[in-house]
Amino acid sequence: MIPRIAIDTLHRLAKGFPVIALTGPRQSGKTTLARAAFASKPYVSLENPDEREFAERDPLRFLQRFEAGAILDEVQRCPALLSWVQGLVDERRHMGDYILTGSAQFDLISGVTQSLAGRVGRVELLPLSAGEIAGVNQQPRSLDAMLFSGGYPALYDRDLSPEDWFPNYVATYLERDVRQLIAIRDLTQFQRFVRMCAARSGQLLNLTALGADCGVSAVTARDWLSVLEASTLVMRLPPYYRSFGKRLVKTPKLYFLDVGLVAWLLGIRHAASIETHAARGALFETYVVSELVKRRFNAGQPADLYFWRDHAGHEVDLLFETPEGLQSVEIKSGSTFASDWPQAVRKWQTLAGQDALPPILVFGGEESYEREACRVVGWRLLDQAF
């Protein structure tokens, strides 16, 4: 098993919550992590037809087998079980009693919200972060190789290439999760929609235009996008809510949460082709944003990341609040620092005033240094920068 940063968060939450919910996209390593973090607990997968039938027909006896709790995998397959879990944990009052994992979050999260409110600590597990990959000395040799591969664990603990992994992953996702979450009549049309979303990763989200490009209504585009969000494949990055005296763009931006998946959906089949690809800047931005999201999720925190853009086109790629002030992050895929890179963030700093911390500029180079009042950070050192 590749060591996961989130294991410490699971152990921490298990001291204060009777139930732990470990959610995230398929094949992000949830089951492996849960079994490693709570090795002494029995493991039951509700994908197993016999176990699922037992849980559905006699949920109380199903749970009473586990005097010290258990890991219940793919628990969204039997959402009615959550009410019985509530009764047992309320009676026993043991912390870290049940560990629930699941991928299809519409059913799982709604069940957790209704049945286990106040009793559950939640961790969202995304694919491997750059720090986790580097921790096992498997970081790709170049930035383009990293953008091509992404972070799904199977690509680092098996003899698998991205060319073999991603087409099968997408096909499995379309066949399973989509049909479970929403009625899709034309899977080919939905697959086109997913590719169109990939082409917009890092861009402002316009549902009307997105739907028109796919031949569906804006309402359908919204519903389908909700499927991708529920499966933790994409996220919407909201604009920062303080105006600083300027008219601001209020539309969110769309990001995928694994850059390798985006590259495959864009038709990129070789890492070498990324160097001259028109989407290289968007891929790098997707990579950096997803790394910061992983960092927050691994710590058991909400993303709480934003961007800032005014109607004149000035934009800061990322903003987040710290106890010291507002941290801005600029993202540039080039490997050589250009003097005009800090222009947008300087514009924002004049508006934010004393709230603004010195900006961080993440770029496609290898080294890190201070330049023009910015902390310039190379892509390999991204995990250390924050």
pLDDT of residue 239: 93
pLDDT surpasses 80 at 248: no
Mean pLDDT score of the chain:
91
pLDDT of residue 336: 94
Q: Which amino acid is at 103?
A: S
Instruction: List the beta bridge partners of residue 102.
Output: 23
The dihedral of CA 214, 218, 224, 227: what is its sign?
positive
pLDDT in tens, 121-170: 999 999 999 999 998 888 899 999 999 999 999 999 999 999 999 999 99
Token reading at 382: 């991204």
CB 279 within 8 A of CB 197: no
> Among 16-30, 84-98, 172-186, which is the least confidently predicted range?
172-186
pLDDT in tens, 306-326: 999 888 788 999 999 999 999
> Among 23-37, 58-72, 161-175, which is the least confidently predicted range?
161-175
| E strands, 182-279, in order | 203-204, 234-237, 253-256
Q: Using CA atoms, how far apart are residues 102 and 241, in angstroms rounded to an integer?
A: 32
β-strands 306-309, 253-256 pairing: unpaired
Q: What is the mean pLDDT of residues 165-192?
A: 81
Nearest alpha carbon to residue 289 among 344, 336, 252: 252
Structural domains of the chain in order of their starting residue, each with its CATH number: 6-124 (3.40.50.300), 130-279 (1.10.10.10)
pLDDT of residue 115: 67
Q: Using CA atoms, how far apart are residues 379 and 116, in angstroms rounded to an integer?
A: 40
